[in-house]
Structure formats: C-alpha cells, structure tokens
Structure 1
C-alpha cells in the first residue's frame, strides 16, 4: 500500500509500552485524518498497535514486518 504520510516516528529499539506511548504523543500533534508511520523492532508491537488502533478509534491502514522491523501506518480519527 502506498500511503501519503504526514509524520514518521522511529521507535526502533524501544520495548512495550514505549512505542505505543510515543505514537500516542505523535498522533496528538496531528490533525484528524492525518497519517503517522511508526517503525518499531519490538515483536509485541504488532498486537499492541492493532489493539491500540481499535480501542482509540484510529485506522490501522498498514501493518508489515520485514527483517525484524515492523511498520505501522495509522490514520488519526477525525
């Protein structure tokens, strides 16, 4: 999926719950409908970002993994 991104967060090397907490802070600075890309290395972040998006109401547009890197693309709820 090729998605226009408004901000990017590199949470590489951070462990739960830090990637989610930093993403929450980054999303707070975006307007509704804007898109954040998060890069993480914590395997638990896959489950965490799915649950976070569902609970808060953001849209998880993309979730992918490659070579120990996990990329999440999240659209902030309007």
Structure 2
C-alpha cells in the first residue's frame, strides 16, 4: 500500500456484487470532506474495472490505488472537491 495518503474511512462491501460496490462507494465518497481518502474492501473481481471506470468519469474523485489481496480487492479513492 502507498504511504502517500492516510485512509479516512473504510467501506466494507465484501459479498456484494455489481452494481452495489460502486453505488455504496459513491455514497461514502459524498460523505467525505475534500482531500479525505476512502478505502473500499470488495470481493467482487468486477469491482476493479467498475470502480476504476466510475472514478475516471466522476468529477471530484481521484482513484489512488487498487490492490488485489487474496480474495479481497482494495480500492483507494480521494475526494478532490
């Protein structure tokens, strides 16, 4: 994991399938303050492309990193505005 950021909040969406990881990630990001980082823990392998695509097309969100850790996919997104 990158040490250039500090996780502000963790969202556990393990066991959820598309589209819920993205839907819940959007809701959690909306609740953060600018500059805060959300860690998302998912077990749906599709979340790697789904969250990346959502972040790429969403104003105010920067996808910092995605990590595959065994059966868990970890996503780190910063609210930028």
TM-score (norm: length of structure 2): 0.91
1:1-78 alignment, distance < 5 Å: 1-2=2-3, 3-57=5-59, 58-78=61-81
* Poorly superposed stretches of 4+, deviation over 2 Å: none
Summarize deviations over 1:17-71 as a string: whole Å, max 9, x none: 0011111111111111111000000000000011011000311111010211100
* Secondary structure of 1:12 counterpart: coil
Cα root mean square deviation, aligned: 0.9
* Secondary structure of 1:56 counterpart: coil
Tell me the distance in 1 between the aligned counterparts of 2:20 and 2:12.
Answer: 11
TM-superposed CA distance for 1:13, in Å, is 0.2
